[in-house]
Structure 1
Amino acid sequence: MTFVPLVSTQEGMAMSSKFPIRPAGLLLVGVLGIPGVAEAHVKWFCGPIDGSAPPLPVGQVVTLLFLELFAIFVGLVMLGAMLDTVATRVAGKLAVDPERAGVASDVIVRAGVAVYALCLWGNLAVVMWADPSSGSLLTPDLYGAGPALGYVQLATAVVVLIPRLSIFAAAALVGLYLMGVAKFELFYMIDYLFFLGIAAHLALGSPIGSRLAISRYRVPILIGSLSLSLMWTAVEKFLFPQWTISILVSHPGITAGQAFSTVATIAGFVEFSLAFYLLAGREILGRVGAILLGIVFVAAMPEFGMLDIVGHIPVILILVIALVTGETPLQIMCRGSDSGMLISGWKVGRAYVATLAVLMLLYYGLHALSVWTLAKSGAGIF
């Protein structure tokens, strides 16, 4: 089925021109506005979207404002990495007993998934333009689950609390994800890779999965899946700014007087940078990234209500685990093991630039491939 966007790119840019760019107001945007629009899933609030609509051309994305903000955030990320190196050296490694951290992460994931599955079963997370009784598969915009799947969600809430049966909860999450792929296409479901991370964590923490050598990487897999999901949705803010702008139209107070397109771009960089910290931060910066992301999500909840509260339970639980666990082999692999301040700043900055470039190219390429495949098969778009 084809959706119609609430605000087209051209209309959004035209409306944004009503507000002159005031550099002095950028700080106000960061303090007042970003929590309202940097939350990951603007699709839940911007109205039905046209999945076949092309993203903005590169020339309209990489504007002078984009390049200025890009330079600023690269500098901030490099500075953060250097300060992180010094702070870690001075404060020492914030040691966390691996066994206790593993137990804590298991409890957090099981409890969080149980609560979230109950919310899905109770139809508490369905987008406003859908029939609430239709239910949702995994997230508010994946509506149309039907009553039968509600029993799967209810069963998941029960078995996930029983360690010996958690493998079935993992299988249920994977099954719901695959149903989302079948209904909304794989490209659309890239936003929600963290559900596969949660499933992997549950499976590798079960009596069967814990026997595998890879089981010790269940937390890095979990955190990495969320980091990639958030960076992907941050890239969407650059390529499809009209989705964010449609929210700003209905909530103009969070712009702090800045142009809509400016706020959308800033929100994208804020979200991308904080998500990147989950991949590259040391003991301190990784935790800071988790805390700041948590603040962003929680601060958006009063503005967007129950849909936001329920929909982001899985994200919050992973951020709590990242805060509790600290540095994992994932961060060392992405950042390198060098302890020098300058070399750490350089490597993290280089990784930031490369990650942003690769994800933007992947987004353009996979979107074009998805539209071409669907057009060739004659299937509906998303």
Structure 2
Amino acid sequence: MLFPTIAGAHIKWFYPYDLSEAPRNMGEVLNPEFAALYVLSIVCIYVFFFIDRLWYRNRFLDGLLGDLVVSQASAAWIIRGATAFLFVMLFFYGLQNQALFLTPELHTDLPYVKWAQLAMVLAVFWRVTTPIAGFGILALYAISIHYYGIYHLIDYMFFLGLAVFLILLPLQSDRWTRIRYVTLFASTGLTIGWGAIEKFAYPQWTYPLLHDQPFLLMGMEPGFYMTLAGFVEFNLAFILLSSASVASRMLALFLNSVFMLAIYMFGLIDAVGHAIIIAVLVVLAVRGPTSARYFLLLPSKTLWTEAYFMTGLYILMLNCLFLAYYGFYYLLLG
């Protein structure tokens, strides 16, 4: 559970997938193994948030990490740099091959896409022009929906958060800064959580990878491994969204190491696909969480009660995303 390597790569970029194929029947997913791991994940979440809130109340490592927090300008440059990297790579790929909208599997023959991506690279270099890049991302996202469907594009909610971040970047008040980062962090966490549910619904998409890279299984049976990987990934996403202590920053560094390992394993195409998520995790690690997540704190309650409250939110989020994954499929794809 400590090394969910499979969480580092999006399987759609490397192996065949078929969204016309319905997700696994809920009765197949909700088997005894799933139930056991569900209960285990709840216990782990409870223990984690007891420790998290204990660290927060005792200001564990706050003094040391306070000296390591980067400025707002530096954090924004990390996101802008990753955006420039992503779109310059997509531009050069489009010059040599079939162009891509936003990610490696979203191919297009539209000739203007790569030139729009080049314009977006230039736009992120000046704060006053970053909204051009933001609206460009929204346009590419909308066109991608036209060709690939909204259900496919839900996989990449973090692009919506990135677009909002870039559009609002010229606005410098504390309120707009908080909105930018809340949107960026939340959309990234939801993207990771949505990908976790995909492992429950479509584990067969990853079986060819596990066959080619059997060391990933660590001796486990593929079906069990995919269910375990889904729970681990979802737990990480929830913690990134709601941890109040230094734990969220430590976890962001750990999760980034997983993505870096995936780049080593799968090559530059994985770096292109995950560039923005990597940048967001770096910013979370070096900037820390926004003040918005402190609304989840219950300072007047005991640690036991606060951990119980967060565990309830975890169960709610997992159940809602699980039902949304299946509900949206049958609503949008029949």
TM-score > 0.5 by shorter chain:
yes
Query: Using the alignment, how far apart are the partners of 1:82 and 1:76 within structure 2?
Result: 10
- Aligned runs of 1:81-120 on 2, under 5 Å? 81-92=49-60, 93=62, 101-120=71-90
User: Is contact 1:42–1:243 with CA below 8 Å preserved after alignment?
Assistant: yes
Q: Residue in 1 aligned with 2:326?
A: 364
- Aligned runs of 1:365-380 on 2, under 5 Å? 365-372=327-334
Q: Residue in 2 aligned with 1:76?
A: 44
Query: Using the alignment, how far apart are the partners of 1:339 and 1:307 within structure 2?
Result: 47
Amino acid in the other structure paired with 1:311 = G
Query: Using the alignment, how far apart are the partners of 2:96 and 2:148 within structure 1?
Result: 18
CA shift digits 1:235-258 (9 cap, x unpaired)? 000011111222212211211221
Q: Residue in 2 aligned with 1:127?
A: none
Q: Residue in 2 aligned with 1:275?
A: 237
Q: 1:118–1:205: structure 2 CA closer, same or farther, 3 Å change rule? A: same
User: Is contact 1:282–1:326 with CA below 8 Å preserved after alignment?
Assistant: no
Query: Using the alignment, how far apart are the partners of 2:9 and 2:297 within structure 1?
Result: 24
Percent identical residues: 29
- Aligned runs of 1:23-62 on 2, under 5 Å? 30-31=2-3, 34-35=4-5, 37-39=6-8, 41-47=10-16, 49-62=17-30
Q: 1:149–1:233: structure 2 CA closer, same or farther, 3 Å change rule? A: same
Query: Using the alignment, how far apart are the partners of 1:152 and 1:66 within structure 2?
Result: 45
Q: Which runs of 5+ in 2 are unaligned?
A: none
Query: Using the alignment, how far apart are the partners of 1:323 and 1:86 within structure 2?
Result: 20
1:245 equivalent among 207, 212, 220 = 207
- Aligned runs of 1:203-282 on 2, under 5 Å? 203-206=167-170, 209-210=171-172, 213-282=175-244
Query: Using the alignment, how far apart are the partners of 1:118 and 1:304 within structure 2?
Result: 20
Q: Residue in 2 aligned with 1:375?
A: none
Q: 1:135–1:63: structure 2 CA closer, same or farther, 3 Å change rule? A: same
DSSP 3-state at the match of 1:91 = coil
Q: 1:198–1:65: structure 2 CA closer, same or farther, 3 Å change rule? A: same
Query: Using the alignment, how far apart are the partners of 1:353 and 1:305 within structure 2?
Result: 35
Offset at residue 339 of structure 1 (A) = 6.2
User: Is contact 1:283–1:326 with CA below 8 Å preserved after alignment?
Assistant: no
DSSP 3-state at the match of 2:162 = helix
Q: 1:246–1:132: structure 2 CA closer, same or farther, 3 Å change rule? A: farther
User: Is contact 1:279–1:330 with CA below 8 Å preserved after alignment?
Assistant: no
- Aligned runs of 1:321-332 on 2, under 5 Å? 321-332=283-294
Q: Residue in 2 aligned with 1:315?
A: 277
Query: Using the alignment, how far apart are the partners of 1:40 and 1:336 within structure 2?
Result: 36
Offset at residue 52 of structure 1 (A) = 1.6
Q: Residue in 2 aligned with 1:342?
A: 304
Query: Using the alignment, how far apart are the partners of 1:211 and 1:264 within structure 2?
Result: 44
Offset at residue 231 of structure 1 (A) = 0.2
DSSP 3-state at the match of 2:246 = helix
Offset at residue 178 of structure 1 (A) = 0.8
Q: 1:336–1:290: structure 2 CA closer, same or farther, 3 Å change rule? A: farther
TM-score (norm 1): 0.81
Amino acid in the other structure paired with 1:166 = T
User: Is contact 2:70–2:286 with CA below 8 Å preserved after alignment?
Assistant: no
Q: Residue in 2 aligned with 1:23?
A: none
Offset at residue 326 of structure 1 (A) = 1.7
Query: Using the alignment, how far apart are the partners of 1:84 and 1:316 within structure 2?
Result: 23
> How many aligned positions are there?
331
Amino acid in the other structure paired with 1:164 = V
TM-score (norm 2): 0.92
Q: Residue in 2 aligned with 1:11?
A: none
Q: 1:245–1:179: structure 2 CA closer, same or farther, 3 Å change rule? A: same
CA shift digits 1:149-194 (9 cap, x unpaired)? 1111111111111111111011111111111111111111011110
User: Is contact 1:279–1:334 with CA below 8 Å preserved after alignment?
Assistant: no
Query: Using the alignment, how far apart are the partners of 1:101 and 1:340 within structure 2?
Result: 34
RMSD: 2.2
Q: Tell me which stretches of 4 or more aligned residues in structure 1 moved more than 6 Å.
A: none
Q: 1:138–1:145: structure 2 CA closer, same or farther, 3 Å change rule? A: farther
2:149 equivalent among 185, 190, 210 = 185
Offset at residue 69 of structure 1 (A) = 1.1
Matched, 1:196 2:160: yes
